[in-house]
Structure 1
Amino acid sequence: MAVEFEGSRGYTLGVEEELHIVDVSTGELVPKIEEIMSRLPEDLEEAVSYELFQSVLEIKTPPCATVAEAEGHLRELRSRVGSWTAACGAALASAGTHPFSRYRDQKITDQERYRKVIKTLRWVAEREVIFGQHVHIAVPGKEEVIEAHNRLSEWAPLLLALSSNSPFWQGKDTGFESTRVKIFETFPRAGLPPAFPDYESFESYVDLMVDSGAMDDYTFCWWDVRPHAKIGTIELRILDSQTSVDHAVALTALTQCLVASSLSDSPKGPYHRELALENKWRASRHGLDAAFYDLQKRTNVPAREVARALVKELRPVSQDLRCEAELLNVLEIVEGGTGSQHQRRVYEESGDFLDVVAYLIEGTRPAMAEAPAEEQG
């Protein structure tokens, strides 16, 4: 079965954010998605989606020509959807996990795809109360998407370290900077993807999995990076959801620049998956305090040093893509700390997870404004 891929030029992009719906007084996740969706105006219906649990919603930008355009949509969506959430007696918050809500307390979204996921995966899916940021970058064609797939997979550990924003799980500090990815790795066909030499190999993999009854189509490949044939993009899925919209935008710019850079050079072929797996483990455990093994240098290199060097290398590409300022904001994460580091500082100061949730709500809120009076009605 062919997996048709129709790409496009220009590295256009789109961003998706999975967000918490929380009760402002208790800080708990609350199943309000149906009420929120029923109130949304028509122009927001395509931009907001259900997820596996009723305490989660996803916002998504349309295809954008530049990172700045995507940022505008993210700010508007956080603002407007946040206002409608407030009208339902709840608030939006953004991080890779909720600090203390229990997965057993969450209600499943009553849709066929989600019912099938729960029936098939049971406890593995029942625990998946996690929140990610996905970035789509359009690429010209089949072979280009495989090259981008391999190169983004190489850089996935650094992208994870920069995005790490899930230190807490069910009321406990896990000791990990990204708890979210360790939970999601229990899914089948999750984690770092196979290293495909060409698009035909990807199609053969999909055929095998479909023929075996493992999945219905390639969208059940829940990898950290994957070709998204239906919309002609390479999709980065490893990022924790970001509390700060500035961080979300910086990581989007870094992703776009990495894809464009990878396709401007001669193809390098499959990536070294075993090494990437080791580096990903270090990123999930230590975040930006990790040291990644560099195969060419035959030594471990501190993650912050790797990030600074990569930003410097990509600046000319970012100028061509008109996202230099956004790319440079990656250095603010390097110097100022990741979301996990900020969450831990809040908890260390107060010892109360409610204060962490309040911080997440407030950190998500600066991009929000009051909805117009007609929307409040």
Structure 2
Amino acid sequence: MEILEELRPEGADEHPKAKHELLQSTVEIITGICGTVAEAKADLAGTLAEVAAAAERRGLGLMCAGTHPITDWQSQLISPKERYLQLVERMQWLARRLQIFGVHVHVGVRAPEKAIPIVNALCQYVPHFLALSASSPFWVGCDTGLASARAKVFESMPTAGLPYQLSGWDEFETYMETLISTNAIESVREVWWDIRPHPGFGTVELRICDGLPTLDEVGAVAALSQCLVEQFDTQLDRGYTLPTPPSWVLRENKWRAARYGLDADIVVDEKGTVRPVRQSILDLVEDLTPTAKRLECEQELADVERVLAVGASYQRQRAVAAASGGKLEPVVDSLLSEMRTGLPSDGPAGGWSGPVPGPADCSGGHAA
């Protein structure tokens, strides 16, 4: 609250790129409209520096991950904005426990009728994005055994999770109108699908990613997002019909990525063929490299391979916890450090997939 008030320009209601979120302990940082991933990273870095300086003056640090390893959602204060107060009143426990954090990427599309086919096609890459970004193995001081606990916490909201596979824009509008007319939602902003069209911005928004500790990782998922949307947009221009994967495959693959992260084997066809998601990500990067060159994000797309080499955040966090005898305070320190210094040059490639030894059971309470 104090930080955002300090950063608020005189005469303005709020900072243009640093915003309130549901919890008072959270600051949402956004960018303007950017032409390249590098421009978006620079935009984020500028606002992040402002927030970090204001936080430092108060003896506070910044971190970003899908969940905070040790804090309890029950101790968090809700931001005093009418939108959030109404959300908590309506959703109660489901909203109160949303001590989760994500990275959302908007990519522009060139025509409204393309949005739904692109959303449907992007869904097959939910496990790729989730495994790569997974950074929430811990919840209220215990190891959940998942790579992304955030994904499962957020799914509890009635309008969150995988999108419905709709036939086109007309069906999307009908669905939104029904939700609004029946008082299920007030606007499309309350439909928190993992991937959704955003009518106000003319974009497809990928919301599946956990919070990412470094700008390098943000850039990597942004490049992956931009290249995929551009590829699908171009294919539609050429008259192709984009794939609409079966819903059971999408649900199964999302679960596998949330549970096993980069060690997941994902289903790649209706016959039940499985393939390591790690290899699928590498192949996807290779396939998208020509598109990345045209979009001037080849370096950021290559950072996907850097993440695979040093380990996703959930793997790095577990490695720190294991080296600390199961203590999670050093994990928080490592996330603070990564926010300041960037993606580490080495890490637990191959990953730590089991629970961290040491902490007590996960039935509730705080870490020791």
Fold match (TM-score > 0.5): yes
Q: What is the CA–CA distance in structure 1 between the aligned matches of 2:75 and 2:243, rounded to whole Å?
A: 45
**CA RMSD in angstroms, aligned pairs only:** 1.4
TM-score normalised by length of structure 1: 0.86
Q: Which residue of 1 aligns with 2:170?
A: 200
Give the C-alpha shift of residue 41 in structure 1. Answer: 5.2
Q: What is the CA–CA distance in structure 2 between the aligned matches of 1:48 and 1:157, rounded to whole Å?
A: 29
Check 1:200–1:252 CA distance in 2 against 1; reply closer, same or farther (3 A cut).
same
User: Residues 96-111 of structure 1 correspond to what in structure 2 (within 5 A)?
Assistant: 96-111=66-81
Residue 107 of structure 1 aligns to a residue in which SS?
A: coil
Match 2:106 to one of 125, 130, 136? 136
Give the C-alpha shift of residue 256 in structure 1. Answer: 0.4
Count of residue pairs the alignment pairs up: 334
Structure 1 runs of 4+ with >3 Å offset: none
Q: What is the CA–CA distance in structure 2 between the aligned matches of 1:216 and 1:331, rounded to whole Å?
A: 41
Percent identity of the aligned residues? 38
Equivalent residues of 1:96, 1:240 under 8 A apart? yes
Check 1:290–1:195 CA distance in 2 against 1; reply closer, same or farther (3 A cut).
same
Q: What is the CA–CA distance in structure 2 between the aligned matches of 1:298 and 1:292, rounded to whole Å?
A: 9
Counterpart amino acid of residue 36 in structure 1: I
Check 1:62–1:150 CA distance in 2 against 1; reply closer, same or farther (3 A cut).
same
State the Cα deviation string for residues 104-162 of structure 1 (Å, max 9, x = none): 10001111110110000000001100000000001112111112211222211111011
Check 1:274–1:296 CA distance in 2 against 1; reply closer, same or farther (3 A cut).
closer
Match 1:308 to one of 255, 260, 282? 282
Q: Which residue of 2 aligns with 1:9?
A: none
Residue 143 of structure 1 aligns to a residue in which SS?
A: helix
Q: Which residue of 1 aligns with 2:269?
A: 295
Query: Any gaps of 5 or more consecutive residues in structure 2?
Result: 343-368
Q: Which residue of 1 aligns with 2:5?
A: 38
Check 1:246–1:361 CA distance in 2 against 1; reply closer, same or farther (3 A cut).
same
Query: Any gaps of 5 or more consecutive residues in structure 1?
Result: 1-33, 368-377
User: Residues 88-237 of structure 1 correspond to what in structure 2 (within 5 A)?
Assistant: 88-237=58-207
Q: What is the CA–CA distance in structure 2 between the aligned matches of 1:74 and 1:217, rounded to whole Å?
A: 27
Is 2:341 aligned against 1:366? Answer: yes
Residue 16 of structure 2 aligns to a residue in which SS?
A: helix
Q: What is the CA–CA distance in structure 1 between the aligned matches of 2:278 and 2:243, rounded to whole Å?
A: 27
Give the C-alpha shift of residue 36 in structure 1. Answer: 0.4
Higher strand share: 1
Match 1:65 to one of 35, 46, 62? 35
Q: What is the CA–CA distance in structure 2 between the aligned matches of 1:125 and 1:307, rounded to whole Å?
A: 33
Q: Which residue of 1 aligns with 2:300?
A: 326
Is 2:210 aligned against 1:240? Answer: yes
Equivalent residues of 2:118, 2:242 under 8 A apart? no
Q: What is the CA–CA distance in structure 2 between the aligned matches of 1:42 and 1:156, rounded to whole Å?
A: 38
Q: What is the CA–CA distance in structure 2 between the aligned matches of 1:177 and 1:325, rounded to whole Å?
A: 26
Q: Which residue of 2 aligns with 1:54?
A: 24
Give the C-alpha shift of residue 366 in structure 1. Answer: 2.3
Equivalent residues of 1:55, 1:107 under 8 A apart? yes
Give the C-alpha shift of residue 298 in structure 1. Answer: 4.4
Counterpart amino acid of residue 329 in structure 1: D
Counterpart amino acid of residue 231 in structure 1: F
Equivalent residues of 2:127, 2:277 under 8 A apart? no
Equivalent residues of 1:91, 1:361 under 8 A apart? yes
Give the C-alpha shift of residue 357 in structure 1. Answer: 0.7
Q: Which residue of 1 aligns with 2:328?
A: 353
Give the C-alpha shift of residue 89 in structure 1. Answer: 2.5
Equivalent residues of 1:197, 1:270 under 8 A apart? no
Residue 175 of structure 1 aligns to a residue in which SS?
A: coil
Q: Which residue of 2 aligns with 1:30?
A: none
Is 2:310 aligned against 1:336? Answer: yes
Q: What is the CA–CA distance in structure 2 between the aligned matches of 1:66 and 1:78, rounded to whole Å?
A: 18
State the Cα deviation string for residues 319-370 of structure 1 (Å, max 9, x = none): 1101111101111122221000000011111132111111111110126xxx
State the Cα deviation string for residues 171-210 of structure 1 (Å, max 9, x = none): 0000000000100000011100000111001001101111
Q: What is the CA–CA distance in structure 2 between the aligned matches of 1:65 and 1:348, rounded to whole Å?
A: 41
